Structure 1
Amino acid sequence: MRHRRHLSSPRAIVATLAAATLLLAGCSGGDDPAPSASAPSEPTSSETTEAPPEPTYWPLTGLERKGDAPRHPVVVTKVDNTSSSAPQVGLGSADLVVEELVEGGYTRLAAFYYSKVPAAIGPVRSMRASDIGIVPPGATVVTSGAAPVTINRINGAGIPWITEGEAGVYRETSRSAPYNLFARLGDISKRLKAEEEPPPYLPWGDEADLPKGAKASTLTADFGAHSTSWQFQQGGYVNTDSYAAEGDQFPADSVLVLRVRVGDAGYRDPAGYPVPETKFEGKGAALLFHGGRVVKGTWTKDGLTGEIELSTKGGDLTVPAGHVWVELVPAVNGNVTFAK
């Protein structure tokens, strides 16, 4: 808040001048009365009105925030993204979603919650080492666990996590394991306390700042065994092959595709597939889909915990404020197609 400057009182100044004038007149012996002082002016509105507070913005959407920030940290929930997960619950309340590669060419979702927390989310699945570069600083992960080597790396990165056996994580009896683990995020968030407000996850900006780009009303991100397709409809993007419950799909205003390097996590899953690890650091090609158009650029990230930066040949690239689905598509063995 801007503080008002303290100015000297106009009445005190006038009184001092008048006294000085009378003193000079007395010393000179003249009979002329001292000139009358004009009435002091009232303080102007600029002197009495405080400047309005600076606006604040949600870190996961870039939208303006009214009121105080939540007391809880960002809660990232790992959600299954196969046909066995249908219907997924809680995606419609997410601020932001990141889709990442897992074993066998399938994908898993990291759903971010901060401005809104749903009553339930699921099916909840396990973490991967890839999440070290995806989860923002200070966030807590809700997960079904992970392989011991992954847990050691997640703990080494200082990322707190919550799993089955802790309050708010439960089995949905109407579903089959392992696709029946759910979490009551409302209950979980109440017992979590944030030390500070999280930084912006993406470089946010305004739609007017976007380069024109090319027309692109449809796009498909291909991870191998799974593809995610989007169609631009009524100002937003609809996931045409979503497993989300009806009326609970993620409301994507933009889709951000980042081509990433993928390595070997060093172990195999129970089915014998090698577990991949997304290396979300360094740089790669970027495609920003917004408003039925696509802008080509480059992303950079200084280390796994660095900030995501975007640019084009013309300079910095910002993402229009809103809900964004991020596709981390492998630079090798992955593909992205789009059409007018």
Structure 2
Amino acid sequence: MRRTRTRALASTIAATALVLSACGGSDDGSGEDGGSDPQATSAGAKLASTWPLTGLPVKGDDSAVQDHPVLVLKMDNTSSSAPQVGLGSADLVVEELVEGGMTRLAAFFYSRVPGDAGPVRSMRASDIGIVSPVDAAMVTSGAAPITIKRINGAGIEFFGEGAKGFYRASGRSAPYNLFADMTATATLTRGGERPADYLSWGDAADLPKGKPASGLAASFGGGHTTTWSFRDGGYVNESGYAAEGDEFPADTVLVLRVEVGDAGYRDPAGNPVPETKLEGKGEAMLFHDGRVVRASWSKAGLDAPIELATKQGELTVPAGHTWIELVPREAGDVTVTR
């Protein structure tokens, strides 16, 4: 059974209260509202009208409550993955360290689910802290037994090779040829309520001024660096492998400096498997509109939301598509281009 997050449930209750209040006053015929909280119903209405992974408004006949949960596909992020498929449909992406100094992507899909997406690779224990805040289901090639035990213990639903929608693409070599038709895989699980917001969304006008930043390079250690340039109002991944026209449309790049430990086992090549600790607190850098705002992040637990703050108080992320870089605090580095 899928878990129910308290914050998501509260959002649903608030939205429901708004609908009920719109139908009339109290049931005693007095016309009084029975003590309803206008602030709570207003917050519920706002949540119901925005997407949880972007903060962008829901348009037309779309609903912020889909018939599937948030789906997170684990995607290879090496040159062997080129061209990556499906990133252009993602709401949000998290890049995390794996063994050998390489990275993998956790691509979040909710407002739109693509057809083909991949190459699909395996989960890591790091994913618990990444996907739990929105009670996401994972699309993955599998995982080591120790990881599966921890993923199951965290109550995370996942689908692997052999499940509906998975297939091996011709013309690619294993293990980089596993893909998923996400529209088919999405039918294996059900939604039912709007997920909690992944980040605290706000307006770009509310951002502190920050400092000019025309780009950045996020180094994950000796194996991989992701380079971004700010062009035409958005961020371009200069070191990415996405298919042309299928790139992730990053409005914001959020860098979190994180602790990285040992997951307790080695990959088939003998490399120790790292585990990103996405809880606690650390330094943050928010890149938006050609500027960078330095802040701090905190996360009370693996299933808790990411919270950002400056010395002046809470820092919200401008509504839009956000790419999150989980850069190792010790071995990693971030270089800002002015």
Same fold flag (TM > 0.5): yes
Q: CA RMSD in A?
A: 1.5
The alpha carbon displacement at 1:64 in A equals 1.0
Contact 2:254 2:286 (C-alpha < 8 Å) held by counterparts = yes
Aligned residues: percent identity? 64
The aligned counterpart of 1:181 is 178
Q: Structure 1 residue 111 and structure 2 residue 107: aligned?
A: yes
The aligned counterpart of 1:24 is none
Query: How far apart in 2 are the matches of 1:123 and 1:339?
Result: 31
The aligned counterpart of 2:128 is 132
How does the TM-score come out when normalised to structure 1? 0.85
- The number of aligned residues is 297
Q: Give ranges in structure 1 of 5+ residues lacking alignment.
A: 9-50
The aligned counterpart of 2:147 is 150
Give the alignment of 1:230-309 within 5 angstroms: 230-309=228-307
Q: Structure 1 residue 168 and structure 2 residue 159: aligned?
A: no
The alpha carbon displacement at 1:167 in A equals 1.1
Q: Structure 1 residue 217 and structure 2 residue 214: aligned?
A: yes
Query: How far apart in 1 are the matches of 2:237 and 2:73?
Result: 19
Q: Give ranges in structure 2 of 5+ residues lacking alignment.
A: 1-18, 32-41
Contact 1:138 1:194 (C-alpha < 8 Å) held by counterparts = no
Q: Partner of 2:257: helix, strand, or coil?
A: strand
Q: Structure 1 residue 208 and structure 2 residue 233: aligned?
A: no
The alpha carbon displacement at 1:104 in A equals 1.0
Query: How far apart in 2 are the matches of 1:295 and 1:310?
Result: 11
The alpha carbon displacement at 1:4 in A equals 4.4
Query: How far apart in 2 are the matches of 1:200 and 1:309?
Result: 11
Q: Structure 1 residue 62 and structure 2 residue 55: aligned?
A: yes
Query: How far apart in 1 are the matches of 2:76 and 2:83?
Result: 10
Query: How far apart in 2 are the matches of 1:62 and 1:219?
Result: 24
The alpha carbon displacement at 1:3 in A equals 4.1
The alpha carbon displacement at 1:241 in A equals 1.1
Q: Structure 1 residue 78 and structure 2 residue 71: aligned?
A: no
Query: How far apart in 2 are the matches of 1:254 and 1:197?
Result: 23
2:194 counterpart (192, 197, 205):
197
How does the TM-score come out when normalised to structure 2? 0.85
The aligned counterpart of 1:314 is 312
The aligned counterpart of 2:36 is none
Query: How far apart in 2 are the matches of 1:166 and 1:241?
Result: 32
Q: Partner of 1:110: helix, strand, or coil?
A: strand
Larger Rg: 1
The alpha carbon displacement at 1:234 in A equals 0.6
Query: How far apart in 2 are the matches of 1:185 and 1:325?
Result: 20
Contact 1:89 1:121 (C-alpha < 8 Å) held by counterparts = yes
Give the alignment of 1:325-336 within 5 angstroms: 325-336=323-334
The aligned counterpart of 2:156 is 159
Query: How far apart in 2 are the matches of 1:278 and 1:54?
Result: 35
State the AA in 2 paired with 1:245.
Answer: A
Query: How far apart in 2 are the matches of 1:78 and 1:255?
Result: 19
